[in-house]
Amino acid sequence: MSTYNAAIMDKAIELMNRSTNANRRVGAVITNGVGAHNAHMTERESRITVQHAEAQAICRSAAEGIPTKGHDIYVTLSLCVDCAKLIVQSGIAAVYFDKYDPEQPEGLKLLHLGGVEVYGKAPPQDDLPR
Ligand SMILES: [Zn+2]
């Protein structure tokens, strides 16, 4: 079982504060040492050019040959379903989130289905599959 590490969440918050995304700022740190904030992939900023912090941290790990399997990820906001898919597929063992995003409840459900441990304050989800 994973143990919460406040210093890692502080690093995720620090990265979040560096994001220049106008819509919302998110930071993520994997316990393999790779961190990222959400950012646009092109000069043009739109909904389709932004890459989420979690996805960026996982992609950066892959690009640098740093394993993600068995590591934990700390995120400042509960995640979307696309990032949840990446987390399940990358073998990340646990997700710690700081704030719950009520617009993205499906991400947490998918993590549970994928066998990923999830830690953070979320409202009761009675329809959560067990
Ligand atoms: Zn996402």
- For 45-88, the DSSP string reads -STTTEE-HHHHHHHHHHHTT---TT-EEEEEEPPPHHHHHHHH
Residue type, position 44, single letter: R
Indicate the range of 35-44, 53-62, 75-84 predicted with least confidence.
35-44
Q: How far is the CA of 57 from the centre of ligand 1 (A)?
A: 11
User: What predicted TM-score, i.e. pTM, was given to this entire model?
Assistant: 0.90
Is 60 exceeded by the pLDDT of residue 9? yes
Q: Catalytic one among 14, 43, 45, 54? A: 54
Find the helix or strand (DSSP H, E) in which 96 lies: strand 94-99
Identify whether 54 is a catalytic site residue.
yes
Neighbours of 21 (CB within 10 A): 18
Q: How far is the CA of 107 from the centre of ligand 1 (A)?
A: 8
CA 22 from centroid of its chain's CA atoms = 19
Q: Does position 23 have pLDDT exceeding 90, yes or no?
A: no
What is the pLDDT at residue 125?
59
Q: How far is the CA of 126 from the centre of ligand 1 (A)?
A: 23
